[in-house]
Amino acid sequence: MSPPPPAAHCHHCAHHHQLHVNGLSVAYQKTEALSDISFSTSCGNTVALIGPNGAGKSTLLKAIAGLVPRRSGSIQWRGAKVSQWHREFAYLPQREDVDWSFPVTVRGLVEMGRYSQLGWWRRWRPIDQSQVSQALASMHLEGLEHRQISELSGGQQQRAFIARALAQEAHVLMLDEPFNGLDRPARENLSALLRQQAAAGRLVIASHHDLNTVGELFDEVLLLNRRPIAFGPVAEVFTEKNLALAYA
C-alpha cells in the first residue's frame, strides 16, 4: 500500500476531514477499559472527553493515537485507517507521564516534532528550521527556547508540547488533561490558543475533568463511562439525565 499524500494545508482547511470512531473496544489484560465507543467529528472542532476517574478518557485518546491496541472496532480518518495517518496525529501526554528531567530544551523538544517529517537520516533543512521557529512563535515561546523543559510553568509546558505537534504538522491534536493544574489565566490563555488551532482547521480532542469549564473551553463533548453516554454540542449533552448516567 502506498503511503498517503502529505496533509493539505491545515491553515486553509476547507476539507472538513472526518474522524469516525466506530464500535471501539479496548481491554487491558482481561478488564475491559472501553466498550463500543462510537462518535464522529471533523476538523475545526474542539472536543472534550468527559467522565469520572477511570472512565477511559485517557485510554480513548491513546487508542485513537495508536498508543494502545484496540480489541475491536475501527477508527477512520480522512476515509482510511487511522494507522496510515500517524504523522497527522499528535498525542500530548498527561503531565505525570512526562520525564521532565530529560535533558532537552524547549527548542529541542519542538525539533523532535520534525523527526516524523525528516525520518531517521535526512538532513535538517531550512524549512525545518523555520517550521520550528514558527511553531515556537505561535505558542508564544520566544525567549524560552533554551530553557530545559522543567524550567517552565505548567501552561508553558503545555504550549511547548503543542508547538511540537505544530512542528510535526499534525492535523489532530490529542491532549490528555491539558488544563490540569493550570490557574485561571493560564487556562484561558491555553483555551484561546487551542481554539485558534481549531479555527485554523485542526481537530482538537482533549480529556477533561472539570465539568464547570467544559462549556467555555470546548464545542463538543463525548460523555463516557467505559461505554458512551452521549455525544454532541455541550449544551445538548449536559443534561441532568446524562450526567447522572455517567457519574452514577
Partner 1 sequence: MPDILSYPFFQRALLGALIIGFTNGCFSAYVVLKRSALVAGSLSHALLPGIAGGILVAGALTPWSAFLGALIAALLVVLGSLAVARSSRLDQGTSLAVIFTIAFAAGLIMLKYVPVQVKLEDYLFGDILNISTTDLWVTFGIAVVTLGSITALQRPILLTLFEPSVAAAQGVPVRALNYLIMTLLVLVMISSLQAVGCILALGLVVAPGATVFLLTNSTRAMVWGGGLLGALGAAGGMGIAHWGDFRPGAVITVLLGAAFLLAFFFGPRSGFFRRAS
Give me the amino acid identity at 211: L
Task: State the nearest-atom distance from the C-beta of 154 to partner 1, in Å.
Answer: 18
Task: State the nearest-atom distance from the C-beta of 182 to partner 1, in Å.
Answer: 21
Please give the residue ranges that form the binding site for partner 1 (CB under 8 A): 62, 65-67, 86-87, 89, 91, 93, 98-99, 102-105, 108, 112, 115-116, 118-121, 146-148
Task: State the nearest-atom distance from the C-beta of 108 to partner 1, in Å.
Answer: 7
Name the residue nearer to partner 1 (CB basis): 98 or 200. Answer: 98
Task: State the nearest-atom distance from the C-beta of 234 to partner 1, in Å.
Answer: 29
CA-CA distance, 194 to 150, in Å (whole number)?
22
Task: State the nearest-atom distance from the C-beta of 128 to partner 1, in Å.
Answer: 12
Name the residue nearer to partner 1 (CB basis): 66 or 232. Answer: 66
Q: Indicate the burial class of 241 (C-beta count within 10 angstroms; 0-12, 13-18, 19 or more).
A: exposed
Name the residue nearer to partner 1 (CB basis): 80 or 112. Answer: 112
The Cα-based distances of 83 to 12, 17, 89 in angstroms read 24, 15, 10
How far, rounded to the nearest angstrom, does the alpha carbon of residue 201 sit from its chain's CA centroid? 14
Name the residue nearer to partner 1 (CB basis): 39 or 89. Answer: 89
Name the residue nearer to partner 1 (CB basis): 16 or 122. Answer: 122
Place of cell 519542538: 110
Task: State the nearest-atom distance from the C-beta of 146 to partner 1, in Å.
Answer: 8
CA-CA distance, 220 to 208, in Å (whole number)?
12
